[in-house]
Structures are given as C-alpha cells and as structure tokens.
A and B are shown apart, each in its own frame.
Chain A
Amino acid sequence: MPSADVVVIGAGLAGLTAAIAAAESGAHVVVLAKGHAATHWGPGGIDVAGIPAASTPRDGIRLLAGEPGHPYAFLGDDVAAALDWLRPHLAAGGVDYVGDLDTPLQAVPTSIGGTRRAAILPAGQAAALSPWASGERLVVCGIAGFKDFWPEAIAASLLRERIWQGGSRPASVTSISVALPGLAARHNLNALEIARRFDDPAWRATAIAALARAIAAVPGSGGRVALPAVLGIRDHAAVLAAAEEHLPAAPFEMPLVPPSLPGMRLYAALRAALIRAGGRVQVGEMIERVEHDGQRVTAVVAAAAARTYTVRTGALIIATGGIAGGGLVAERDGRLIEVVLGLPVEAPPVEEWLAADAFDPAGHPLEKAGIRTDTELRPIGADGAPVFDNLRVAGSTLAGQRYIGERCGDGVALTSGRRAARSLTAVPAGHAAEPGSKRA
C-alpha cells in the first residue's frame, strides 16, 4: 500500500492540470484514471467560453460568470493566470498554443463541414483562426482510402453561407483527395497510423511533396488548406513546419473522430509535464471506494487483479468528469450518483432531462448537473459547509456549467484543477497529515 500527498482521480485536462500544480509545489502526486478519454476524444483546443453572444473568451467568461451558479462566478478571474501558467508546460511538450482571452472568437471549420467558435488552439489549427480575406480560397484536402475524412462532403457543406455563423468565409471551397505512399491498400486506415508515418522524415517528405503538387493543381493561389488532423504524433512540430514550408497554401488540421491526434498530443504534453514534476500516472484503475476518518479522506481503494489496491493519501482531488465523462451516473429512478464518494449532486429535475432537444446547440440541461463546492472547490452539503476538509473537485464534475454547450469545459477544467491543487498545498506547515508534509 503506497502513499501519496495528493491523489487525483481522472486524467483529463482538469485532473492532469491539478496534478501538475500539486506536484510543482513539492507534493508527491499519483493520478489514478480508469482509462484515457477526455483528451483523446476532444479536438485539442482550449475552449474557455465559446457562447454565441461572446466576442472573445474574456467576454464569454464575463457573461457566464453572471449566470446563477456558474463556476466562472468564482473561477472567472483566474482563467488568464491559469492559461499563462499552463502554456509553457505545453510548449515544453512540443505543443504551442495560439490565442488568448482577447482573441476574437472565430468560426473554425470542422471535419463534418460545420464550424465551431474557438479562440485558443494548438499551432496545428492556428491558420483557421484568422478572419478570411476577400477572395481567399480554402482547399479541403483528404487522403485517399482514409474513411474518417470526406473532403467532398466537407467542402459541399462549407459552401453554405449560414455555416459560417455570420462571420467571414472563404471565397471558394474546393475538395481534393491525394494518394499517399503505401496507404491506399490499407484496410483499416486510421488517423494514428497516418500520423505515425508522418513522424518518419523520409515518408513525410514524399507525402508533403505529393500534397503540394495536388494543392498547386487546384485553380487559384495562396489561401488555406484544411487537412485531416494527422500531421505527426511524436514529431508533430517538425511535420507542421515542413507542411507550412512546402505547401502552397497555409495548412491547418481539422480534428477528427476519436482518437483525436490534437487531443493525444495535449495529453502527452500534460503527462510529460507531470512526470517532470515528479508525479505518477496510473491508468486502468477502477476506484472501488474512498476511506475516510471523519471529515478527512485517508485512502483511495481501487480494484486489482486480486484483492484491492490501496493508496494512502493526504488529500484527494476528484476530476472524473460529468455525466458525459462518467463521473456522474444516472439511476433509473432519476437520481444522479457521484461515482467516487457518492457526494451530494446538484441536478435539474428529472422531468427536464428528456424535455430538451438532445442536439440543442446550447447543450443539454444534464450537463449542468454536478457537485456544488465553495470557492476553494471543497464539495459542500445542503448546509453549505464542506463535506470533507481535504477533498477538492475540479473540471466537468462541477455543477452549474454546460461544459459542451457553452464551450467552457476546458477553461473551467484547467482553472479549477490548478486552484484545487493550490488550495490543498497552501495549507500552513505543521498540519501533520496535509500534503507537502514528509511521507512516513
């Protein structure tokens, strides 16, 4: 039975951010995760507040902070600092992010031919962020045999003016499909496999030359080229640089169905930052229960091949996600259960669950379900008092947000993760079982 100062449950953006922040302060941190998901399923950007009414993320934070019970009410002022703190960690992992809270939200085209409002994106998607100049063309470039990206369908959809949400749009959208060496015969060709080939400098050179020829053959010049997000995994920065240098249009990646390469790169950079800070990540951990002594969490117990696996801990951060991520599950009788500790869940009445349009762009009311906390992210009970002293909750498990519909999930995740860790590690020295204290 090993021991930690801080155990974090969940390895998404919130969990890993919390873990990095805690490890940086000298705490011995162990992340226990059921598997990979949140990062590997997402488009890899950092959505802070992409609501239609907002012009910039900062504007969006202000608007959301005014909504009753929204986590930005107490986290909003901290988002900028959290982003500034995270950026160098990601850059050290080879993933540069462009855009900040004052970058205008732009309708960025997606791989199903829609657009999504974004402002903070990895370098590979950066070329999608600037407004379209008059006469500027867009080439949507697919890879022959690759079934997760249909350039003709994407282009046909992007030709419709309303897709661009009232913003600027390309003057023309053309689709092409390029055969890349050795891929056409593959039966189950997937994004990761192509990305790994791009990591190989020799293959990369041939492939980019083929792409360049095909794009050059499209009438017009300059403009931008949308490619499926397959531009390398280990050596993404080099692949992107080569594409930018050799392609006759400014390239940007369109994130795809899972596993999402931009999301995987984000995960890899976060994990690397945690390992550098001395933390540990263990995936495949199914949490069975949490042990506590009165108001203090003392240990986390996970399933194992036989018996159970116990990690004694000075503190616990729950970052297991919301109803979509598995941090909350719904019972048939309409109760919502928080899976780790059975914490009190704040949720809309069950009558509203099915009344809503499942595809409402504003999101589903159930997204708002979650754990109510104080400003230090301690879960609170009906009386408003913290349920446990050394427990924090971060990310989409927090109540009051529509992490998908409001496009605020990433901003809430990284800001709450960092604050949760800091509030745990800032406890004055001499408090025997608190993190930061020496292990026995």
Chain B
Amino acid sequence: MTIAELIKDAAEEAVGYTSDECLKCNVCLTVCPVARVTDLFPGPKYVGPQAQRFRTGRAQPVQVAGTPVPLSPDVTVDYCSGCGWCTTACPAGVKIAEMNSQSRARMKAGKRPRLRDWGLGQTDLVGRVGVLFSPISNWALANRPIRAIMETTVGIHREAPFPKFGRRTLQATWKRRQKRRGTTAVPGPEKAVVYFHGCSANYYEQHVADAAIEILRRNGFETIIPEQVCCGLPLISNGIYTEARQRAHKNLDVLARYARQGYRIVGTSTSCTHTIKAEYREMLDIHEDDATLVANATWDICEFLLDLHEQGRLDTRFGRLDEDLPYHAPCQLRSHGIGLPAMDLFALVPGLRAADMDHDCCGIAGTYGMKKEKYPIGMAVGAPLFDKIRASGAPEAACDSETCRWQIEKATGTRTRHPIEILLQAYRAGDAESRTQSGQPAAEGS
C-alpha cells in the first residue's frame, strides 16, 4: 500500500482509525447494556478497538494460519445492539459502536443475509404489505400459533413487540387531504418545514404524525410531506449497507432540494433523524455535499420545538396536566448530542411531573430485541426500566423512539407515547382553560 493510499484509506475509514486512540481502559464495558446481562457479548472493547488491530487494510478479516477461510477476529460483534453508549462514554473519542456496526457489515458482506435480518431491515416493504392487508396482517401478528411458527421459521421471537399496521399509509392519507384541500401555494422556509415521518408514522402510528402536524401549525409552520423511503437504519443495524446506501441516496436527493431552499427537515422518529444527521456520513461513508447540507437541516422535533422556545417563538399556552410521567430517553436520542429536549419541554407544562427514568437502554435497540436469540437479552437489558415504570404507577409513559415505545408498552402494560402527544394534550388542556376563562363552555378534547 502506498502512502497516498494509506492517507486515502485513513480519511475514508475515519471510524476504524479511531481505534488508534484507544487506551484499552475498558470504560466502554462499564456502560455496555448488553455485556451487563449476558456472557454472549464480551464487551465493546474486545470486539471493537481491540479486534480492529486484526482487521487489516480495508478492514478485511484477517487470515488465520492453517484455516481455510479468513476469520473475523470476533464474531460475537453480532451481539452488539448498536445502542452507542460505548462511544458516548469513551474518554478517548473512539467510535466504538460505529466500528462494531461496520465490522458486522463486513462480516456479512458478500454473503446472502439471513431472511430474518433482511426482512427486519426492509421496514418500508414490510410496512407497505402490512398496511395493504392490514386486517389480515394485524390478525396474524396477534395470533399466537402464527407467531410461534414465525419464531421457528424466521427467527422473530413470539413475544417481540409489534405495533398494529394502520388502515392506510400517512402518505396516502396526506395525499387525500391535500386533494380535498385543493392546490395551495407552499409557504417559504420561514413558514413551513419538511416532515420526515419515517416508517413508524407512515405505517403504524399516524397519530404521532397528526400530533406533529398540529403542533407545528400552532407554532406557525405548515408541513410539507415529500415522497420518502425508510431512512435505512434497520438495514444498517442488520449489516446490509448496500441497500441502506440506496435508501440514503433516495432520501438525500429529495431532502437536499428542500434544504437548499432553506427548509428545515423535522422528524418524529429520533432514530431516523439521527441516521440522517450522522450515519449517512459516518457509517455509510456518503461524503457528498448534500449529505452535510441535509444533516445540518435536520431536527428532531423536540429539539426543534425547544429551539423555538429559546428564540421566544414557542407557543407556551400549555394547560395543566396534573400527572406523573415517566420518561425514557432512547439511546439514539443520546447519540444526537442534544441533551434531553423532551424533558426541557415537559418542564413548560404546568402540573406535569415528568421524571427521567435514567436507564441506559430499553433493550429493543431497533430490531435487535425482536430476534429470537436476542429477545431475552433485550428484556434483561430493559428490566430495571420496566420495574421503575411499573413502580411509578403512572398511567402512561413517554419516549421519543417508536421501537422503544412498543417495547416498554409490551413489557410494562403502560401506554407509552411520543413526547409531542403529551405536549398536544397540554395544548388542548390550555385551549379548554382559556375557553373556560373567557366564559365559553369547555369542550373536552376538542
């Protein structure tokens, strides 16, 4: 390898090369939720920066003398859930979780992915089919014998949380609404934002999209919903980078057109927004200008609302919500590096006693906790969180990530909502209070 090639390699393999900074102090192990509960995963250091030394050059698995095929130094890397806590805690700036994801992808590169992993990666395809046949698909997913067969044949655990498919996609609903409304001029970037709904709001949780659209409107922003595909994170998590890159490019093409005009892109799925912000560039190595342009235009919805508040532009006419609200900050939210914006917004709601559950991970980690062999690990990872939420006795909990919400709801039986659903409820309470004050009869929930 020439010097020039080495330099090029270092620039492109920025993540892998951070292993040079590793002091082997194993602080990453102290925060790893998976290693905390299972011996199957030795910990981030062992499969990450320590193993990285044996992944030579363009990180090909090293050839072990006497073995017929090149071996990856540590195949247990597949037990990494990708939560990212190791990267967060590393005092030396090593990108451990990112390194592990890339190693997993390399391990799987060139092989046909397991049908299960491929299928879990195709959230948009699964969503489309599921919505199309929603009564049947919802029945099937709730049917215990079918789930048992799914577990045996496909490897998706029978108890894994699955949401209900919607009757139609958000995209279809939105087009229908637009048609009814007739063509109206799209407002400029000061009066409108682009909404990245992700798969969850498109196929399963349209109520989250509705809450986002209504809250944005209250704060002076119309919503633009362009055609979009899955952000690609489920594919990245399952080590299927080639298809993830195709999704990324499709989204970047659309989103960059808006970003260039100054529109901001707001998302309700904190893992999608994090993927667009960070992983297109860092994990998928997409280094075109558009990737940075779009990343810098992308906001998690709570981050966006808190920013409005800091500018004094947030409508803060929240009514009283007299309740305890356990809150779980998802791993992907932490990787945004934006603090806990939902908690800061909850503090604006009179009477609301939001409590950060202060637990590392709920265990689902996207699709990780759905897999047959990883489901028990995920449940053990989340157990202290579930105990805390149950012990709180609160009627509902809040969390910014959909798969975490499904996991918490399934494990605790506590209804778990997106923070903006709570905020919308507070706005409505505020409307009711102001109607009462102005002498009009209050209409509950209108």
Contacts and interface: CB of A to CB of B under 8 A. Distances in A.
Interface stretch (B111-119, B170-178, B181-189, B332-340): B332-340
Interface in A182-213: 186-188, 190, 192-193, 196
Contact of B25 (A258, A275, A304): A258
Given A41-B25, A186-B39, A306-B277, A1 B30 contact: no
B91 interface: yes
A309 B344 CA distance: 14
Contacts of A305: 274, 277-278, 295, 335-338
B150 interface: no
Interface string A141-178: 00000000000000000000000000000000000000
Contact of B296 (A186, A264, A306): A306
Contacts, number: 93
Interface string B13-49: 0000000000001110111000110010011001000
A284 B344 contact: no
B437 to A, nearest CB: 25
A37 B25 contact: yes
8 contacts: A275-B358, A282-B339, A283-B88, A283-B89, A302-B337, A305-B336, A305-B338, A307-B296
A303 interface: yes
A35 B39 contact: no
Contact of B338 (A41, A258, A304): A304
A306 B29 contact: no
Interface string A230-271: 000000000000000000000000000011000010000000
A179 interface: no
B339 A40 contact: no
A311 interface: yes
Contacts of B337: 284-285, 302-305, 309
A30 B89 CA distance: 17
Contacts of A282: 339
A187 B73 CA distance: 14
B243 interface: no
Nearest to A41: B25
A284 B89 contact: yes
User: Interface majority SS on A: helix, strand, loop or mixed?
Assistant: loop
Contacts of A285: 337
Contacts of A30: 339
Given A40-B25, A41-B25, A35 B339 contact: no
A36 B29 contact: no
A309 B336 CA distance: 9
Contacts of B278: 305-306
Interface in A273-297: 275, 280, 282-286
Interface in B319-337: 334-337
Nearest to A2: B344
A35 B36 contact: no
B89 A188 contact: no
B341 A2 contact: yes
A40 B27 CA distance: 7
Interface of B: 25-27, 29-31, 35-36, 39, 42-43, 46, 87-93, 274, 277-278, 295-296, 298, 306-307, 310, 334-341, 344, 358
Q: Which of A2, A312, A326 has the most CB of B within 10 A?
A: A2
A34 interface: yes
A356 to B, nearest CB: 22
Given A2-B339, A2-B341, A305-B274, A34 B91 contact: yes
A34 B36 CA distance: 22
Interface string A300-329: 001111110101100000000000001000
A342 B87 CA distance: 26
Contacts of B298: 306
B115 to A, nearest CB: 31
A190 B30 CA distance: 11
B26 A284 contact: no
Contacts of B91: 34-37, 326
Contact of A258 (B26, B31, B339, B344): B26
Q: Which 3 pairs from chain A and chain B are nearest by CB?
A: A284-B88, A304-B337, A37-B91
For the side of the interface on A, what is the size category? Answer: 35 or more
A2 B306 contact: yes
A264 B27 CA distance: 10
B55 to A, nearest CB: 18
Contacts of B26: 190, 192, 258-259
Given A36-B91, A306-B278, A1 B336 contact: no
A237 B274 CA distance: 40
A310 to B, nearest CB: 9
Interface in A1-24: 1-3
A187 B42 contact: yes
Contact of A35 (B88, B277, B307): B88
A30 B25 CA distance: 26
A162 B335 CA distance: 51
Contacts of A2: 306, 310, 339, 341, 344
Contacts of B29: 190, 192, 259
Q: Which of B89, B92, B306 has the most CB of A within 10 A?
A: B89
Contacts of B43: 188, 190
Contacts of A286: 93
Given A36-B89, A284-B334, A326-B91, A258 B27 contact: yes
Given A286-B93, A306-B278, 7 more contacts: A2-B344, A36-B89, A37-B25, A258-B25, A259-B30, A284-B88, A305-B338
Contacts of A35: 27, 88-93
A305 B25 CA distance: 25
Given A196-B36, A305-B274, A284 B31 contact: no
Nearest to A308: B337
A187 B42 CA distance: 8
Contacts of A326: 91
Nearest to A304: B337
A198 B298 CA distance: 46
A305 B275 CA distance: 9
Nearest to B337: A304
A189 to B, nearest CB: 9
A306 B26 CA distance: 27
B328 to A, nearest CB: 15
Given A35-B92, A282-B339, A305-B278, A1 B25 contact: no
A241 B93 CA distance: 38
Contacts of A280: 339-340
A41 B29 CA distance: 13
Contacts of B46: 188
Contacts of B25: 37, 40-41, 258-259
Nearest to A321: B91
B30 A36 contact: yes
Contact of A311 (B27, B35, B88, B339): B339
B31 A36 contact: yes
B89 A304 contact: no
A326 B93 CA distance: 12
B392 to A, nearest CB: 16
Contacts of B336: 304-305
Given A36-B31, A188-B42, A258-B26, A1 B88 contact: no
A306 B341 CA distance: 15
Contacts of A284: 87-89, 334-335, 337
A36 B23 CA distance: 13
A40 B87 CA distance: 16
A259 B31 CA distance: 11
Contacts of A258: 25-27
B27 A36 contact: yes
Contacts of A34: 91, 93
